[in-house]
Amino acid sequence: MEKKVTKKVIRNRKVTLSTELQQAMGYIKRNLEVCSGCRTCEAVCSLSHEGVVSPRLARTGITDYILEGRRIEGYTCLQCRGPECLYACPTGALYINEKTGARCIDSEKCVGCKLCMQACPKYPDAPPIMYDPERNICVKCDLCGGNQLCVKFCPEGALSLVKREI
């Protein structure tokens, strides 16, 4: 069966869109009623991806933290069905992982223009795409290749992989 394609103009350039994009195996959901704000997810994520514990390098985490008032806000990528971040990338750094369907960023191709961040429907409130100024690249959740470590190590069980129906 042939894939149907359409043309879409994004930021003054034509992009070919497949109507049969591979869907992600799911997305990470944070239960804010259960989340304690411990930031274990950030530590595990940054350690597994970057080799250091650094919340600013994590691909998931806490954006706002008020323990007594119980206001804890978090961010995770929704692995959108129609990934505007992927369409907005001028260098082709965003791609779909064949195993998981996750929308991923190739750090070798990323030029740090932040167009993917701005294209995200969650921008600017709780953008799941972060900019690393030291490397001049953007980073986002890649579902850990199918083994979501933030979910596995969350001590409160506040994170889960929500599978989408295809």
Q: How far is CA 75 from the centre of its chain?
A: 9
Torsion of CA 108, 111, 114, 115, to 10 degrees: -100
Query: Which is more confidently placed, 126 or 111?
Result: 111
Q: Which pLDDT belongs to residue 68? A: 58
pLDDT, tens digit, 9 for 90 and up, residues 129-142: 999 999 999 999 99
| Residues counted in the chain | 166
- In this predicted structure, the answer to whether residue 1 has a pLDDT above a threshold of 50 is no
Q: Where are the domains of the chain?
A: 25-159
The mean pLDDT value for 59-85 works out to: 79
Band of residue 56 on the pLDDT scale cut at 50, 70, 90:
confident
One-letter identity of residue 70: R
pLDDT, tens digit, 9 for 90 and up, residues 12-50: 445 555 557 889 999 999 998 888 889 999 999 999 999
Q: Using CA atoms, how far apart are residues 87 and 8, in angstroms rounded to an integer?
A: 9
Q: Which pLDDT belongs to residue 64? A: 67
CA-to-CA separations, 45 to 39, 54, 140, 163, in angstroms, rounded = 10, 9, 10, 20
Contact 112, 137 (CB under 8 A): yes
- In this predicted structure, the answer to whether residue 7 has a pLDDT above a threshold of 50 is no
The pTM score is 0.81
pLDDT, tens digit, 9 for 90 and up, residues 87-118: 999 999 999 999 999 999 999 999 999 999 99
Band of residue 9 on the pLDDT scale cut at 50, 70, 90:
very low
For 25-159, CATH gives 3.30.70.20
